[in-house]
Structure 1
Amino acid sequence: MTALISRPYPDSMNNNSGLAFIRLGDGEMKLLFGLSIKTLDQWSMPRGESKLGKDLRKVLHYPKYQYNTFSPFYYGIYDAKDICPFHELLSKIYQHPKYLTYANLFVNSNYPSTKLLHQALIRDYRKKIILIINNEISSLKLTELNAWTCEILLYPNNGPLLWENDKFREQAIGRIVETAKRYRNRLFLFSIGPLSKVLIHHAWLENPYNRYIDVGSALDQMTRNRTTRPYQSNAE
Structure 2
Amino acid sequence: MHTPNLDIDSEFDKMLNRVRLGEHFSFSRFGDGELHVIKNGKFKCTQWTLDGNEKENTLFRDAMLHSLTYDRSNYFIGLPCSCREDSDQFRDYIFSNFKLNASHMTFSALFVNAMYRRLQKELIPVLKKHPIALVANDKSNIEHFKKLGFKLKMFFPVPNNAWKMHQQIVTQVLDEIKIHNTKNHIFLISAGPVANTLIPILHSAHPENTYIDIGSSLDQQLGLPKGTRNYLQPHGWKKLARCIWHRPIYRNQITCSSIGKSKTYRAYLKLRALLTTIIENMY
**Category of TM-score, reference length = shorter chain:** 0.7 to 0.9
Q: Distance in 2 between matches of 1:55 and 1:201?
A: 10
Residue of structure 1 in register with 2:244 after alignment: none
CA deviation after TM superposition for structure 1 residue 45, in Å: 2.6
- 1:129 paired with 2:128, answer no
Q: Distance in 2 between matches of 1:84 and 1:156?
A: 31
Q: Distance in 1 between matches of 2:19 and 2:46?
A: 36
Maintained 8 Å contact 1:23/1:76? yes
The runs of 5 or more residues in structure 1 that have no matched partner are: 163-167
- Provide TM-score, normalisation by structure 2: 0.67
Which structure: larger Rg?
2
Residue of structure 2 in register with 1:165 after alignment: none
Q: 1:110 to 1:147 in 2, by over 3 A?
A: closer
The runs of 5 or more residues in structure 2 that have no matched partner are: 1-11, 240-276, 278-283
Q: Percent identity?
A: 22
Residue of structure 1 in register with 2:27 after alignment: 21
TM alignment of 1:52-201, pairs within 5 A = 52-63=60-71, 65=72, 68=73, 72-78=74-80, 79=82, 81=85, 82-125=87-130, 128-138=131-141, 140-141=143-144, 144=147, 148-160=151-163, 162=164, 168-181=165-178, 182-201=181-200
CA deviation after TM superposition for structure 1 residue 230, in Å: 2.9
Give 2:79's aligned amino acid: I
Give 1:231's aligned amino acid: Y
Q: 1:94 to 1:188 in 2, by over 3 A?
A: farther
Q: Distance in 2 between matches of 1:139 and 1:86?
A: 37
Q: Distance in 2 between matches of 1:8 and 1:85?
A: 29
Spell out, residue by residue over 1:55-76, the C-alpha distance to the aligned partner (whole angstroms, 9 max, x if none). Answer: 111222234x1xx2xxx11111
Residue of structure 2 in register with 1:32 after alignment: 38
CA deviation after TM superposition for structure 1 residue 24, in Å: 0.6
Give 2:191's aligned amino acid: I
CA deviation after TM superposition for structure 1 residue 5, in Å: 4.6
Q: Distance in 1 between matches of 2:189 and 2:225?
A: 18
Q: 1:221 to 1:149 in 2, by over 3 A?
A: same
Q: Distance in 1 between matches of 2:45 and 2:189?
A: 18
Spell out, residue by residue over 1:163-196, the C-alpha distance to the aligned partner (whole angstroms, 9 max, x if none). Answer: xxxxx34321111223444222211111101000
RMSD: 2.7
Q: Distance in 1 between matches of 2:41 and 2:19?
A: 42
Give 1:90's aligned amino acid: F
- Provide TM-score, normalisation by structure 1: 0.78
CA deviation after TM superposition for structure 1 residue 94, in Å: 3.8
**3-state SS in 2 of match to 1:55:** helix
Maintained 8 Å contact 2:16/2:123? no
CA deviation after TM superposition for structure 1 residue 102, in Å: 0.8
Q: Distance in 2 between matches of 1:24 and 1:120?
A: 25
